[in-house]
Amino acid sequence: MTPIRLLAPAFAVLSILALPLVVLAKDTGRIFVSNEQSHTVTVLDGRSFASVATIKTGRRPRDIKLNSDKTLLYVACGDDNRIDIIDVAKLAVVDSIRGIDDPEVFDIGPGDRQLFVSNEDAGKLSIIDLATKKLVRSIKVGQEPEGVLVTLDGASVFVASEAANLVQVIDVASGTIKANVPVGSRPRRLAQSTKEVWVSAEIDGSVYVLDKSNYTVAGRIEFAPKGFRREDIKPVGLTLTRDGSTAYVALGHANRIAIVDAATRQVRDYILVGKRPWGVALSRDEGHLFVANGASDDITIVDARRGEVVRSVPVGRTPHSVAIDD
Amino acid sequence: MTRVAALALALLLGSLSAGAAERMVIGYVDLMNDARHEDRAGFGGIVFEQRGRPHDGAALALEDLAMAAQAGGIEFELVAIQAADPAGAVGAIETLRIERGARFILIDAPAETVAAAARAVRGDGRILLFNVSAEADALRGADCSTHVMHLIPSTAMRTDALMQLVVVRKWRDVLVLEGPDARDADLVRALERSAKRFGVRIAAKRPFVLGSDPRERDQNNLALLTSAASYDVVFVADDSREFSRFLPYQTMSPRPVIGAAGLTAEAWHWAWDRDGGTNVSRRFRRMAQRPMRGEDWAAWIGVKSIVEAALRARSTDFATVAAYLKGNEFRMDGSKGQALSFRPWDNQLRQPVQLATQDAVITQAPFPQFLHQSENLDTLGADRPDSLCRFPSDSR
């Protein structure tokens, strides 16, 4: 595992000196990165970005998310049909929720009561009770479901179906689909503000903005970084600031992050990161953006306010998602 | 003639589609005896490639898009007729059109049958055929028809893909071995065109035959066939595969083999593990109990293109859906990582070509080293200026 080499003391010290302004968290500040092809989660120090630990997980760990008090990290392990639970204090897998068919992306509902996960291969959305760690129900959705997002009130779940070109809205209480929103080709991931849900459409090369109040398309954003053709633009991961004013969209094959002004839906800037960036995560203070570069086995840390790359840090093979304990 | 082996796969979706959903019939015609879909077996009955009917791919697409269809309020039905012979296939198209109202019909048959079907529907402005499995360049060239869309990559697209690889790898000289089948000759002709297009040299071109007759040893002995020439790679044209599968590791110079063995150019290979490829292949295997092949993908993308065009155009009207499907705006996902669309000059589906060994997709063409002024995918196959296809100007 390459991250070990990063611990070379001289390198670590130098990097701290070089970055006196990077102060990320009151808590451990640690950064967790899932590595799809190493079957591990890399843990980085929040200040030095040096590797603290490499945690072995089930095979093909993809989405990762912390619970609300940040004591547990859930890891969707697609090839082992389970969700591993990492104790953040112990940095070890302490439990697993088994029998979850090919879990890919998930979200956790308010109060940490339920976890909603897309079963990519089975074409389902599964609802898991986190207290009993049992599957409550599975709902048939469009083929190849990926992005899952629980609304802030916990009443609805949005699911993006890659093969059906649909975003489906599921009523949590009844477990029924209450809306189908056709979007561009290959919808992947979702992000939300209070009023909107943003959807990346990878093959369409765009982001769709959905109105939460009536489940209709309220806008569409295209990307045109200089020197790229339409076919090179493949948006996947995206996140919004809490006030809903700014969006960060990972453009995949174009190796860039687009910074979008949400109100005007104009792209403010494009930031060059690593190869095939997909997963993105903002620090709690929204000062730093962490980008998982799937094809260069590293993450790029971006100063979100200045729109500048702080540095890149090698992790495991094919990093998928980032979660931050801050 | 057309046996009533017609199997109708109706997707009747009750729950959500309240009220009167519109209906659309997608036709499918194939041949009862089509050796191209039988398992490839060698001496002693050894099966070295599992094959099957691409109809499985068409059925999978309908299942994949069931929920999208339901959401869009259109009920799609796939109606298949298996014809006893080529003439029957032409009749089956007529049956599907008249009796079932099918205007979009997939045809899985060899090139001659596709050409005959195209001739039979000539002048009917309200029908579109989708060629599932005939790779012949002529169907996209001199014999092209405005009524036929081509889902499977042409022979030229495949040889272009391989020659791009040869250039990217800096292999300069190719030894060409040509089999006795007419299709082998077609393939070599396409290869020579591709070599010229991408600046690859053909070191030598040698015919081969199967056998051990010492009087023909210059044509049946692998050592002799691959010596007395300087080459970086061997291209073998062998529709039977019975010769080529023994070629790798037996060449006189230690050089890779491409074409019919070693590295082959495919529309789809089951080992493609990016862009959702594993999901598609896995669903296919569950349904068909065999690995997904290029022709299966072609049938899958054919139905997908019709369904998606109808849903996006929000219509079941033939002219509206056909215009949308052929139009500039229509781009769809085929799990090969790039947006796919049809070329207006010859109706060929633009798509990456997968270059694969038996158990891995090594890479996909086109390569970033080859840029095209508008669409990089058009570096594969006949580009607009090279195309021999001339549609009647009023029916574009």
pLDDT tens across B213-227, in order?
999 999 999 999 999
Which of A315, A317, A318 is CA-nearest to residue A32? A315
The C-alpha atoms of residue A320 and residue B76 are separated, in whole angstroms, by 37
Q: Is residue A123 part of a domain?
A: yes
Are B118 and B31 a contacting pair, CB within 8 Å? no
Average pLDDT (A186-206) is 97
Q: Is residue A135 part of a domain?
A: yes
Q: Is residue A263 part of a domain?
A: no
**What homologous superfamily is domain B156-266 in, according to CATH?**
Response regulator (3.40.50.2300)
Q: Which tops the pLDDT comparison, B394 or A32?
A: A32
pLDDT (tens digit per residue) in B290-347: 999 999 999 999 999 999 999 999 999 999 999 999 999 999 999 999 999 999 999 9
Q: Is residue A228 part of a domain?
A: no
For residue B366, say if its preceding peptide bond is cis, omega within 30 degrees of 0: yes
Name the residue range of residue A152's domain.
108-159+171-181
Are A267 and A260 a contacting pair, CB within 8 Å? yes
Average pLDDT (B247-266) is 97
- CB-CB: which of A144, A180, A204 is closest to B276? A144
The C-alpha atoms of residue A177 and residue A171 are separated, in whole angstroms, by 6
Q: Is residue A306 part of a domain?
A: no
**First-residue to last-residue Cα distance in chain A:** 26
Structure tokens at B159: 């040889």
Q: Is residue A124 part of a domain?
A: yes
- Between positions 181 and 220 of B, the ones with CB within 8 A of A are none
List CB contacts (< 8 A) between A185 and chain B. 331-333, 339
The C-alpha atoms of residue B69 and residue B118 are separated, in whole angstroms, by 29
Helical (H) or strand (E) element with A17: helix A9-18
Is it the case that residue A21 has pLDDT exceeding 90? no
Name the percent of chain B lying above pLDDT 70.
Answer: 94
- The answer to whether A177 contacts B308, with C-beta atoms less than 8 Å apart, is no
Count how many domains chain A has: 1
Q: Is the dihedral of CA A127, A129, A132, A136 positive or negative?
A: negative
Which residues make Cβ contacts (< 8 Å) with residue A7, sequence separation at least 6? Answer: A50, A51
pLDDT (tens digit per residue) in B340-385: 999 999 999 999 999 999 999 999 999 999 999 889 999 999 999 9
The C-alpha atoms of residue A310 and residue A317 are separated, in whole angstroms, by 21
Q: Where are the alpha helices (DSSP H) in chain B?
A: 55-64, 66-72, 86-100, 111-120, 137-140, 155-168, 182-198, 217-220, 222-225, 277-288, 294-313, 318-326
The C-alpha atoms of residue A166 and residue B334 are separated, in whole angstroms, by 16
pLDDT at residue B393, as a whole number: 66
Domain borders along chain B are: 7-153+269-353, 156-266
What is the count of residue pairs from A and B with beta carbons less than 8 Å apart?
73
pLDDT at residue B11, as a whole number: 39
Are A157 and A135 a contacting pair, CB within 8 Å? no
pLDDT at residue A18, as a whole number: 44
- Residue B20's pLDDT band, with cuts at 50, 70 and 90, is low
Locus of tokens 């010859």:
B346
Same fold, B7-153+269-353 and B156-266: yes
Q: Is residue A267 part of a domain?
A: no
The C-alpha atoms of residue A83 and residue A81 are separated, in whole angstroms, by 7
Are A41 and A84 a contacting pair, CB within 8 Å? no
Neighbouring C-alpha atoms within 13 Å toward the C-beta of B164: 26
In three-state form (DSSP H/G/I as H, E/B as E, the rest C), the secondary structure along B200-224 is: CEEEEEEECCCCCCHHHHHHHCHHH
pLDDT (tens digit per residue) in A125-158: 999 999 999 999 999 999 999 999 999 999 999 9
- The answer to whether B276 contacts A230, with C-beta atoms less than 8 Å apart, is no
- The answer to whether B64 contacts A231, with C-beta atoms less than 8 Å apart, is no
pLDDT (tens digit per residue) in B84-127: 999 999 999 999 999 999 999 999 999 999 999 999 999 888 99
Which residues make Cβ contacts (< 8 Å) with residue B125, sequence separation at least 6? Answer: B395
Structure tokens at A74: 């859930």
Are B325 and B342 a contacting pair, CB within 8 Å? yes
Is it the case that residue B190 has pLDDT exceeding 60? yes
Which of B323, B164, B131 is CA-nearest to residue B258? B164
Q: Is residue A118 part of a domain?
A: yes
- Average per-residue pLDDT in chain B? 93
Which residues make Cβ contacts (< 8 Å) with residue B138, sequence separation at least 6? Answer: B111, B115
List CB contacts (< 8 A) between B68 and chain A. 142, 161, 164-166, 180, 182
Q: Does domain B7-153+269-353 have CATH number 3.40.190.10?
A: no
The C-alpha atoms of residue A24 and residue A8 are separated, in whole angstroms, by 22
The C-alpha atoms of residue B267 and residue B285 are separated, in whole angstroms, by 17
Is it the case that residue B8 has pLDDT exceeding 50? no
Q: Is the dihedral of CA A16, A17, A21, A27 positive or negative?
A: positive
Paired sense of beta strands B104-108 and B74-83, if any: unpaired
pLDDT at residue A231, as a whole number: 86
Q: Enter the ipTM.
A: 0.87
The C-alpha atoms of residue B371 and residue A228 are separated, in whole angstroms, by 12
List CB contacts (< 8 A) between A182 and chain B. 68, 71-72, 311-312
pLDDT at residue A230, as a whole number: 86
List CB contacts (< 8 A) between A177 and chain B. 16
pLDDT at residue B193, as a whole number: 97
Q: What angle do CA A143, A147, A151 make, to 5 degrees?
A: 120
**DSSP states of A240-262 as a string?**
E-TTS-EEEEE-GGG-EEEEEET
Which of B161, B179, B183, B137 is CA-nearest to residue B35? B183
- The answer to whether A231 contacts B339, with C-beta atoms less than 8 Å apart, is yes
- Between positions 300 and 339 of B, the ones with CB within 8 A of A are 308, 311-312, 331-333, 337-339
Taking CA–CA distances from B314, the nearest residue in chain A reads A182
Q: How far is A184 from chain B (nearest CA, A)?
A: 9
